[in-house]
Structure 1
Amino acid sequence: MDPSTSSHALELQNLNSASSGNQEDFTCMAPKIYKAAAEGDTNILEGMPSADLRVQLTPNKNTVLHIAAQFGQLKCVVWIIQHYSADSSPLQRPNLKGDTPLHLAGREGHLEVAKALIRAAKTVSERDIESGIGADNTMLRMTNNENDTALHEAVRYNHSKVVKLLIKEDPEFEYGANFSGGTPLYMAAERGSRDLVKIIIESTNRGRLAHTGPMGRTALHAAVISHDPKMVEDILEWKPDLTKEVDENGWSPLHCAAYSGYVSIVAQLLDKSDESVVYLRVKNYGNKTALHIAATRGRKRTAKLLVSRFPDCCEQVDINGNNVLHLIMMQRRFFKRLIKIPWMNVGALINEKNVEGQTPLHLLADSQLRFRSDYIRNKKVDKMALTNQNLTALDVISLAEDLTGRKGGIIQSLKQSKARVGPLLWQKTMRKGKNSSKKVRDKGSDISFLRKVSDSHLLVATLVATVSFAAGFTLPGGYNDSDGMAILSKKAAFQAFVVSDSMALGLSVTAVLCHFCTALSEKGLQLAVLLKFAYLLTKLGVGAMVVAFLTGLYAVLPHHSGIAILTVIICVCCLVLNYALLGEYEKNVEARLYMLESKLDLGKFFRIRT
């Protein structure tokens, strides 16, 4: 920087500070000069004394050249450069944030302004004594307070033409990371700028191209996370060894692709990577491999691809001793096709125990997610395998709390597959003396639960019977005075009304009689069976009553009128909604009945009856 300019500026700043009574280093630019530089009006600038023009600074210490470059005023930039002929200091002068005019031109994407600044720097004859490089390269390599070069700024705001220009002017320089850890290549990949990635790779000396990013990630990590297969392909063609590089948490690009389920990218990485990449583990994620991560995330296609390409990777276990089948059993999605792969369907894998002695079947029972009947019926699955606590899969589900309403169904499915309780539960069952009083209390509470359900169902059945009975004597349309017959008896809608109303009455009355029978029974077995039968009759009776109401209204309304159609729509929607609500209620009741199965032995009852 010119010493005279520096001293002049310092004097002006001190003068401003003294006049305002404030010691803060504050500067401001004359409004007309700022507007002239921003709007490209060189006439006003030409009328200013050279000394005054040099000391004009904004609060961020931007010079008139900064302002003209920022707003893309090429004519004004050229005039200012000529005004400072043979002097590189205005070109390299940073503002308060460390930005040179080239930083601002790159940030805003002003290509022609960037070209003019670089041409001006090339014409300056002075050399950087320490580095021995020209003023143009010095300017290109200057960093601001965030350690960003002009290239970083152009990449950040996706100005491809400016990026290409800056790299072309200094292709041998290795643009390092800024204070956020991003190199230009990483920043382009992270932002999904495929064109910029291609430009940077093709234009830079490949041996000097930096590719790192924050947290130890590489540009390949960023491309995978951006889910851009074409960008991944470009980076792999440039440097396939990046597949083996992991970030500071141990995640490779393959781990990231498996986590997100990007099957096509996983295939690309497998094609270009060394075999060892598949077996890499993520230490801070349970020591899991890419296959474990895919299974944990429910990525079926990704897991199948990994196992198909590298069969023995399924033998690896995580930090808890879980293999891929253990992890699959805890997911809502079932990997049916994956399990059918030959090297996945072996007893050593199917019945392998983790550190707690649990096989995949134990975790399946404990998760209570889905029944997985195909897996449970597999003859290779050991249903009597014991955990470290001597529990079988049936013991695990029997002792667990019913979290999803599926516990009873899972128990039934396991029993049908010949699963049995283990020695621990048998031992507890044999302690009749100690537990006899508890069993009596449990039996009493079970019967009490059934009676409460019966009382509520009886109320509904009685209400349906009452409404149906009353509707039978207040027929829609009325009666003929001559013979007392129904006026609408020949209409199909009326006939449907009569049939459905009769069904509602018959079903509900039968349900009421079932509930009367439950009041006379003291055996839990009979109570459960009668309750299930009465519930079915009541549900059908409610549906028949709604149909009777619908057909009765339809019989007395004009069939093609809007009110008739609207009535039909409302009744149908109500019927569907009611049965949906009944379905949820039925799940809860069924789950409770399944839990009572071992005490009431409903299966034995039905076998005796049939």
Structure 2
Amino acid sequence: MSVPKFPGLLEEEEEEQGSYGTAESMDPELYRATTEGDILEFIQAMEQGPLDRQYGSSATCLQLGPQKNTVLHIATSSGRYEIVKLLCKDLPFFVAEKNAKGDTPLHIAARGGDSLLVSLLINSDFREEILEERNEEGNTALHEALHHRHEKVARILIDKNRNISYSVNKDGKSVVYLAAEGGYVGLVKILMENPAGNCSIEGRLRNKSPVHAAILGRNLDVLKILWEKDQSSFQLRFDEERRSALHCAASIGYLEGVNFLLSKCSGTTYEMDKHGLFPIHIASNKGHANIIQEMLHHCPDSRDLLTSRGQNIFHVAAKSGKAKAVSCMLKMPELAKLINERDDEGNTPLHIATINGHPRIVSTLTWDGRVNLELENNNRLTALDIAEEYMETMASFQKRLTWMALRVVGAPRAPHAKLSKTISSRVEEHSQKENYKDKVNVVLMVATLVTTVTFAAAFSIPGGYNNSDPNQGIATMLAKAKFQEFVICDTIAMYCSIIAVVILIWAQLGDVSTMHAALKLALPLLGIALAMMSIAFMAGVYLIVSKLSWLRNVVLLMGSNFVVTLAAIFVPLCFLGSSNYHIFRHVSYYPFLLMLYAFGGYTDGDDDMDE
């Protein structure tokens, strides 16, 4: 007897082969006849094969498909009424058979919303316990009908046995929950009157409350039915978040639901969830100012509610970036005392908005005369101090806009700010110097590029030069106003960029403060150079196409708009907050405002509110 070269390998291969299974299959003729609804071929295929002693029928009919579907499963999913009717009459035991997913044919019919198939199945000679059979997801046929919004089928199943026990599925949803979610007032009323089943207070404490389902579905009529039948369910918590029904309504901005809940059980206004938020804070977090107003109308003292971190509704809205909600709340006189309140860390709403980088909210707060810009938090920092800490590093555009919003109104630093910055600068001087060097190099590169372009443009003038005496070498369009505009703007652009280059070269030889001063001076010069270069380009193109009136007007219009846009973008970068004069701040506010609405909308994340 020969010995295998690798004895262990053969054993491993045999074990691997043994781990694979073979899927079950149904007779092709039977499967085809069932799906196509050919009743004669179906009967013929069913009659083939030996008799099965257990069921007293042909063994062929017990064949299962790959997903353990019987012929009744297949006929039901295919909508073959005659075959379903025949099987329910002659072989009713098929009604109780389950496939690989735990579905009976009744599950499939209920999920598809076919009332005729459902009627055929439940009127066959079968046990009524089939109505309570659950699949792998824990759903009964009634769960499936309600989940897929088939009200007619759900009513048929309920009418079959109104005293059936209504269990919950694996998601914790009862049939009452699903009916409430779908807004089926009549079905909810029937189910709530059911003396049996999982309708006790103890059961609902462990599962999802139908009240929350009605709120999520915005079904006020269902809410009223639930209140009439079981008022105690309105006091239940919402899943693991410990949120009441009022939390849920406030979160989605459901004003009618909030009004109803406050009129019936206003005590839930003072219930805190696991995250330390009351319903009014949830409304503020989502930006629903109308919900806040409704809560203040029913429970005026709810304005004094604080989160677990000691924050009021202004803090919450400022943190989540809800600029519209903040604007609306500032117009409510009863909330005036909350504007400058501090949280547990000493932060006012302005501090919070600055920390989280929400320029719209910062701008809204700073231009309200009641907001105290000088208040310090527990770290003895004003809002501007916090913003400038961000600016010392490579701040995002969002943080830069926030800093601008504070500078444009002349927000103050804390008295000790200069001392603390001096100490911190000694620790971080090296990193700051490297940071400033990068900035200087970028601006230097742009300024050098502008110098090169404007120099080349001066000797590539539009229209060219005269080649004959007595004006040889003189520009052909010298007398035209637009040519003169081209020359002046190009010259200004070149000299401004050259000056900026020289300033930045000197900055490379200095310390951090010198670099900062150089950048502060070079940026406006670079802005002027870019603007002049743009105007020179517009004038040159205008000259070239001046014979075609519509085209020159288009060039003039486009160029003017782009120059204005350039100024609006660059002016805030260079000049905002550089003056302590009140008039200048008011003038510089408008280019900042343009920047804020042009770019701030992408950074604040303010959601639309239900007004």
* TM-score normalised over the length of structure 1: 0.70
Rounded Cα–Cα distance in structure 2 between residues aligned with 1:520 and 1:182: 72
Question: Is the aligned partner of 1:58 residue 2:55?
Answer: no
Shift of 1:114: 2.5
Of residues 541, 548, 557, the one that matches 1:550 is 541
Q: Offset of 1:575 from its aligned partner?
A: 8.0
Which range moves more in the overlay, 27-36 or 333-342?
27-36
Where does residue 120 of structure 1 map in the other structure? Answer: 124
Encode CA deviations 1:119-176: one digit per residue, 9 max, x unaligned: 333xxxxxxxxxxxxx553333333454432222333444333222111222232421
- Give the equivalent residue in structure 2 for 1:83: 90
> Contact 2:215–2:257 at 8 Å: present in 1 too?
no
Residue matched to 1:328: 317
Tell me the equivalent position of 2:107: 103
With a CA cutoff of 8 Å and minimum separation of 6, indicate the structure with the bigger relative contact order. Answer: 2
Aligned to 2:210: 219
**Aligned: 1:405 with 2:392:** no
Please give the alpha-carbon distance, in whole angstroms, between the structure 2 residues aligned to 1:110 and 1:444: 74
> 2:463 aligns to what?
475
Determine helix, strand or coil for the equivalent of 2:400: coil
Structure-2 change in CA distance of 1:156 and 1:391 (3 Å): closer
Q: Could you tell me how far 1:45 is from its partner in structure 2?
A: 5.7
Letter of the structure 2 residue corresponding to residue 321 of structure 1: G
Shift of 1:588: 5.3
Distance in 2, matches of 1:174 and 1:436, equals 72
Q: What residue is the counterpart of 1:233 in the other structure?
A: 220
Counterpart AA for 1:396: I
Which residue does 1:128 correspond to in 2? none
Task: Find out whether 1:74 has 2:67 as its counterpart.
Answer: no
Gaps of 5+ in 2: 1-17, 586-611
Distance 1:579 1:166, change over 3 A: same
Query: What is the identity, as a one-letter code, of the residue corresponding to 1:421?
Result: A
1:401-456 deviation line (CA, Å, top 9, x unaligned)? 45322365355356x35x4514x447658x9xx99999999999999899878855
Distance 1:306 1:539 in 2: 54
The structure with the largest alpha-carbon Rg is 1
Query: What is the number of residues matched between the two proteins?
Result: 533
Please tell me whether the aligned partners of residues 69 and 101 of structure 1 are also in contact (alpha carbons under 8 angstroms).
Answer: yes
Task: Tell me if the contact between 1:174 and 1:210 (Cα under 8 Å) persists in the aligned partners.
Answer: yes
Measured at CA, do residues 156 and 528 of structure 1 come closer, stay the same or move farther in structure 2, by a change above 3 Å? closer
The structure-2 alpha-carbon separation of the partners of 1:498 and 1:71, relative to structure 1 and needing over 3 Å to count, comes to closer
* Deviation for aligned residue 1:239: 0.7
Distance 1:92 1:237, change over 3 A: same
- Structure 1 CA distance for aligned equivalents of residues 136 and 372 of structure 2: 65
Conserved? CA contact 2:497–2:526, under 8 Å:
no
In the aligned structure 1, how far is the partner of 2:106 from the partner of 2:388?
72
* Number of the residue aligned with 2:532: 541
Q: Which residue of 2 aligns with 1:388?
A: 378
Letter in 2 for 1:475: G
Structure 2 matches for 1:12-411, cutoff 5 A?
A: 29-44=26-41, 48=47, 51=51, 53-55=57-59, 56-59=61-64, 62-83=69-90, 89-94=93-98, 98-121=102-125, 137-187=128-178, 193-194=182-183, 197-198=184-185, 200-204=187-191, 206-208=193-195, 216-225=207-216, 228-229=217-218, 232-240=219-227, 241=231, 242-246=233-237, 247-260=239-252, 262-264=253-255, 266-267=257-258, 269-270=260-261, 273-283=264-274, 285=275, 287-334=276-323, 335-346=326-337, 349-370=338-359, 372-373=362-363, 375-376=365-366, 378=368, 380-401=370-391, 403=395, 404-406=399-401, 408-411=403-406
- Cα distance between partner residues in 2 of 1:224 and 1:256: 7
Q: Partners of 1:175 and 1:95 in 2: how far apart?
A: 22
State the shift of 1:383 in Å.
4.1
TM-superposed CA distance for 1:345, in Å, is 0.3
CA distance in 1, matches of 2:62, 2:450: 89
SS in 1 for 2:172: coil
- The alpha carbon displacement at 1:340 in A equals 2.0
| Pairwise CA distance, 1:177 | 0.9
Q: Secondary structure at the match of 2:319?
A: coil
CA distance in 1, matches of 2:156, 2:520: 84
Q: Kindly state the Cα deviation for residue 531 of structure 1 after the two structures are TM-superposed.
A: 3.9
Partners of 2:481 and 2:539 in 1: CA distance: 7
Q: Aligned AA for 1:389?
A: N
Whether 1:421 and 2:423 are equivalent positions in the alignment is no
Report the Cα offset of residue 464 of structure 1. Answer: 6.0
Q: Give, in angstroms, the shift of residue 336 of structure 1.
A: 1.4
User: Measured at CA, do residues 572 and 34 of structure 1 come closer, stay the same or move farther in structure 2, by a change above 3 Å?
Assistant: same
Give the corresponding residue for 1:508.
493
CA contact (8 A) 2:62 2:70 kept: yes
Distance 2:162 2:120 in 1: 19
SS of 1:390's partner is: coil
Q: CA RMSD in A?
A: 5.0
Deviation at 1:250, TM superposition (A): 0.9
Letter in 2 for 1:405: R
Contact 1:398 1:411 in 2 (8 A): no
Contact 2:33 2:41 (8 Å CA) reproduced: yes
Q: In structure 2, what is the Cα distance between the partners aligned to 1:23 and 1:250?
A: 47
Per-residue CA deviations over 1:353-388 (Å, capped at 9, x if unaligned) read 222222223324433422635533555444444433
Equivalent pair of 1:510/1:537 in contact (CA under 8 Å) = no
1:288, distance to aligned residue in structure 2 (A): 0.7
Output the CA distance in 2 between the equivalents of 1:69 and 1:449.
Answer: 71
Distance 2:391 2:71 in 1: 74
How far residue 236 of structure 1 moved from its aligned partner, in angstroms, is 0.5
Q: 2:24, 2:68 within 8 Å by CA — same for their partners in 1?
A: yes
AA matched with 2:86:
W
Contact 1:36 / 1:45 at 8 angstroms: preserved in 2? yes
**Cα distance 1:457–1:205, how it changes in 2: closer, same or farther (>3 A)?**
closer
Closer, same or farther in 2 for the Cα pair 1:329/1:152, shift >3 Å? closer
* CA shift for structure 1 position 339: 1.6
Percent of aligned positions with the same letter in both sequences?
Answer: 21
- Partners of 1:482 and 1:98 lie apart in 2 by 102
